Amino acid sequence: MKPLSIALPTGKLLSPSIEFLNAIGINCDSLIIDDRRRIYFDNKHKYKLILLDPFDIPVYIEHGAADLGIVTKDVLLERNRTVLELLELDYGRGKLVLARSENNNFSTLGDIYCYSAVATNYPNIAFRYFSKRGIPIEIIKVSPPVEVALESGLADLMLTCFLENLPDKEIIEIDEIAIIPCLIIANRVSFKNFFNQIYYLIQRMKELIANRGALNLNPDI
């Protein structure tokens, strides 16, 4: 039978994801993180693990090149792709914030004037966010770490996502845009074709999450 392929994000989320998959019984021992190889199989050849840049995962899933994926919500908001969002995981939670550096004085959104610039690695989210609020602003797309754009004076504001707290006390949060959960997503056709297998996996994941303890849910979501 064709193995079920699971897309895993490289970077910070990789090791907790591997730990998570191991915990629900998907053996990831073959996986060597420092290798150039991107495709691995579990020891029973039932699962195919594909390591991908987090931002590439939605398109792989949409086209059915991978059946399941682990991805954070910020990526889904930025890359508008049709995928099934099945389950929220208990790790990898981050938040999407609008922040300024210590030495400028925008304390609220109202202080932003039209010559301001915002540096972001989420140009689509930033565009929607400011358009919705009627704020004219220049959006500068940069790669992470976005903090550098503030420190070097490229932009007045930054819109980015942090896994934990803000990295530097010189950066001050203006608006918390959203809590970003880490999600299990699926291709809409693979979900049907592998229904029993995916259903079983999701049940295992739910059990595991419940056993690990209740989620520290933020009521503002």
Partner 1 sequence: MSQSFYSRENFNLGSKHFIIEPLRQRFLEQRLRTVFESFGFREITTPTIELGNSYSNCDFGNTGSIYHFTDKSGHVMFLRPDLTTSIAKLVATHFRFLEKPIRLYYIANSFLSDKDYMEREFYHAGAEIIGSNTREADVEMMIMAIEALQKIGITEFKMDIGHVAFWEYIFREAEFKVDKIITLYNLLRNKNFTSFIKEATLLSIPDDLREVINNAPFLRGKFDLLNSLGKISKYKEMNILLDSITDTCTVLDEYGVGDYFTLDFSLVGDLGYYSGYIFEFYTKDMGSPVGSGGRYDCLLGHFGYECPATGFSINIGKIIKALEKKQSLTMAGEIPDFFITKTHYSPKILFKVARELRRKGFLVEMEITEKTLDESLNYARKRDIKSVIILGTNEKNEIQILLKNMETDDDTIIDFDEFLL
Determine if 83 is a binding residue for partner 1 (CB under 8 A).
Answer: yes
* Helix pair 14-23, 195-212: axis angle to 10 deg: 100
Residue 134 C-alpha from the chain's centroid: 26
Kindly report the backbone phi and psi dihedral angles of residue 156, in degrees, each rounded to the nearest multiple of 5, phi listed first: -90, -30
Query: From the list 29, 38, 167, 199, which residue makes contact with partner 1 (rule: CB under 8 A)?
Result: 199
184 secondary structure, DSSP code: E
Residue where the block lists tokens 């910020």 = 74
* Residue 55: both structure tokens together: 């931002």
Determine if 189 is a binding residue for partner 1 (CB under 8 A).
Answer: yes
Q: Are 197 and 4 in contact (CB under 8 A)?
A: yes
CB 73 to partner 1: min, Å: 9
Q: Are 98 and 159 in contact (CB under 8 A)?
A: yes
Measure the CA–CA gap between 66 and 117, rounded to whole angstroms.
Answer: 37
List the x/- string, 61-80, binding to partner 1 by CB under 8 A: -xxxx---------------
* Residue 123: both structure tokens together: 């140009």
128 secondary structure, DSSP code: H
Which window, 110-118, 120-128, 164-172, 184-192, contacts partner 1 (CB under 8 A)?
A: 184-192
CB 98 to partner 1: min, Å: 21
Determine if 87 is a binding residue for partner 1 (CB under 8 A).
Answer: yes
Determine if 191 is a binding residue for partner 1 (CB under 8 A).
Answer: yes
Query: From the list 188, 207, 210, 212, which residue makes contact with partner 1 (rule: CB under 8 A)?
Result: 188
Residue 31 or residue 71: which is nearer to partner 1 going by CB? 71
Determine if 200 is a binding residue for partner 1 (CB under 8 A).
Answer: no
Determine if 166 is a binding residue for partner 1 (CB under 8 A).
Answer: no
Q: Which amino acid is at 81?
A: R
How many residues form the binding site for partner 1 (CB under 8 A)? 24
Measure the CA–CA gap between 130 and 151, rounded to whole angstroms.
Answer: 22
Which window, 15-23, 86-94, 96-104, 148-156, contacts partner 1 (CB under 8 A)?
A: 86-94
Determine if 197 is a binding residue for partner 1 (CB under 8 A).
Answer: no
Determine if 124 is a binding residue for partner 1 (CB under 8 A).
Answer: no
CB 198 to partner 1: min, Å: 9
110 secondary structure, DSSP code: G
